[in-house]
Chain A
Amino acid sequence: MAAANKIAVMRSELGRVRALGAGRAGTAHWWAQRVTAVALVPLTIWFVIDALRLAGLPRSVVAHWASHPINAALLAALVLATFHHAQLGLRVVVEDYVHGERTRMALVLLIQGAAAILCLISLIAIVRLATVV
């Protein structure tokens, strides 16, 4: 008994609760994943339908479509929800399969950085496209 008991848990139950559990984030991540998922349901349907309508058409038509504030806003919402959702999901994959604190943290930061940059590029492209005409 004595030897086996040396596996020490250096944390009280209260400490674990206060630090929001082993993930240290409570349900914030889980909830954000669901909120973005729900948002992406109508946004995805809208985007696929409009993408099909724009398929094969010249750039001027695409620019005209994007110049409508509703389309530009929905496009921006789609991009924001997509990259936030993707980043949250990929993070879980990394946390599940990558062991070792440093590699895991490096990968998570890389994913978040890439998602943020791609999201910003897309948003700026949308603004530019919407003001072409």
Chain B
Amino acid sequence: MTDSRDALMLGRASDGRLVRRPLSPHLQVYRPQITSILSILHRATGIVLSAGTLLLVWWLVAAARGEAAYATVSGFLRSPVGLLLLFGWTATLWYHFCSGLRHLAWDAGWGFTLPVVHRSGWTVVIAAAVLTVLTWIVAVIVI
């Protein structure tokens, strides 16, 4: 045994033989569905947001260092690339935020029936889109 998790992958076939169970899930055998797509998106946005923290760190460090450094970061964030990054960051943030609330609801034991799962899934997508658009409407008004 090379991996402690192998212990959990042992099972018995119907004739009683000890077998090594395959690792699940095998994504390629499933048709993409709202449930799986949103689950993958939650993880993907989490990874993207982790990288996005660099933007927050840069902003904080620049603000702490002085006028010149702050002017550089402000200039970058107002550039087309900066705005695109910020837009991606807000969209990703709001998706992960809404999807995270859905996960917390599941943790609390709510919303496991299939109709509710589908409804909450689409609610997350729409809510994230609305929050992103709302954030940028406010941003355009403010700036």
Binding site for A on B (CB under 8 A): 1-5, 7-8, 10, 16-20, 43, 46-47, 49-50, 53-54, 56-57, 60-61, 63-64, 66-67, 70-71, 74, 78, 90, 93, 97, 100-101, 103-104, 107, 135, 138-139, 142-143
Closest to B71 in A: A59
Residue A108 at the chain B interface, CB threshold 8 Å = no
**Smallest distance from the beta carbon of A79 to chain B beta carbons, Å?**
8
Q: Which residues of B contact A126 (CB under 8 A)?
A: 60, 64
Query: Nearest residue in A to B13 (C-beta to C-beta)?
Result: A4
A118 touches B10 (CB 8 A): no
Q: Determine whether A74 belongs to the interface, using a CB cutoff of 8 Å to chain B.
A: no
Q: How large is the interface on A (under 10, 10 to 19, 20 to 34, 35 or more residues)?
A: 35 or more
B contact residues around A40 at 8 Å (CB): 100
Seen from chain A, the residues whose Cβ lies within 8 Å of a Cβ on chain B are 1, 4-5, 7-11, 16, 22, 24, 34, 37-38, 40-41, 44, 48, 52-53, 55-56, 59, 62-63, 66, 75, 79, 82-83, 86, 89-90, 93, 99, 101, 118, 121-122, 124-126, 128-129, 132
Asked whether B142 lies within 8 Å of A53 as measured between CB atoms, the reply is: yes
* Cβ–Cβ contact B18 & A118, under 8 A: no
- How far does the alpha carbon of A129 sit from the alpha carbon of B64 in the complex, in Å? 4
Closest residue of chain A to B101 (Cβ to Cβ) is: A41
Taken together as a complex, chains A and B put the C-alpha atoms of A48 and B56 apart, in Å, by: 12
CA distance A38 to B2 in the complex (A): 37
Whether B97 pairs with A44 at a CB distance below 8 angstroms is yes
With contacts A48-B135, A86-B46 known, is A63 near B10, CB below 8 A? no
Q: Decide if A93 touches B139 in the complex (CB within 8 Å).
A: no
Q: Known contacts A4-B18, A86-B49, A93-B47; is A128 also within 8 Å of B64 by CB? A: yes
